[in-house]
Amino acid sequence: MATREALLGRKIGMGRIFDQRGEVVPVTVIEAGPCYVVQIKTADKDGYNAIQLGFGVAKHVNKPQRGHLKGIGDLRYLKEVRTDDVERYQVGQVLDASLFKVGDLVDVIGTSKGRGFAGVVKRHGFAGGPATRGQSDRQRHPGSIGASNIPGWVRKGLRMGGHMGSAQVTVQNLKVLMVDPERNLLVVTGGVPGAARGVLFVRKARKQ
Same domain for 164 and 89: no
Mean of the per-residue pLDDT values for the chain?
Answer: 90
Residues 118, 181: one domain? yes
CB atoms within 10 A of CB 185: 17
**CA dihedral sign of residues 71, 72, 73, 79:** negative
Residues 115 and 174 in one domain: yes
- Is the pLDDT score of 157 beyond 80? yes
pLDDT over 90 for what percent of the chain? 62
Which domain-ending residue is among 95, 117, 141? Answer: 95
CATH number of the domain to which 62 belongs:
3.30.160.810
Q: Which of 109, 94, 83, 95 is nearest to 188 (CA)?
A: 109
Q: How many separate domains does the chain show?
A: 2
Q: Are residues 12 and 89 in the same domain?
A: no
**pLDDT confidence band for 37 (50 / 70 / 90):** very high
Mean pLDDT of 123-136: 88
* Confidence (pLDDT) at 3: 53
Q: Say yes or no: 14 and 75 in one domain.
A: no
% the chain with pLDDT above 70: 99
CATH code for position 123 = 2.40.30.10
Q: What's the pLDDT tens digit per position in 194-206?
A: 999 999 999 999 8
> 83 and 165 share a domain?
no
Instruction: With respect to residue 22, please indicate whether it lies within any of the assigned structural domains.
Output: yes
Residues 29 and 41 in one domain: no
pLDDT score of 131: 85
Phi, psi of 86 (to 5 degrees): -70, -15
Report the b/e string of 121-156 with b at 16+ CB within 10 A: eebeebeeeeeeeeeeeeeebbeeeeeeeeeeeeee
Give yes or no: residues 9 and 102 share one domain.
Answer: yes
- CA dist 11 and 201 (Å) reads 10
Measured from the Cβ of residue 56, the count of other Cβ atoms closer than 10 Å reads: 14
Query: Are 109 and 165 members of one domain?
Result: yes
- The answer on 8 and 90 residing in a single domain is no
Q: How far apart are CA 7 and CA 34, in angstroms?
A: 8
Reply yes or no on whether the pLDDT at 176 is more than 90: yes
- Looking at the structure, tell me whether residues 51 and 29 fall in a common domain: no
Residue 1 has pLDDT above 50, yes or no: no
| Distance separating alpha carbons of residues 30 and 10, to the nearest angstrom | 6
Last residue of a domain, one of 95, 119, 146: 95
In a domain, 135, yes or no: no
- Structural domain including 91 reads 35-95
Give the mean model confidence (pLDDT) for residues 144-164: 90
Q: N- to C-terminal Cα distance for the chain?
A: 16
Q: In the 3-class helix/strand/coil scheme, how is 131-152 assigned residue by residue?
A: CCCCCCCCCCCCCCCCCCCCCC
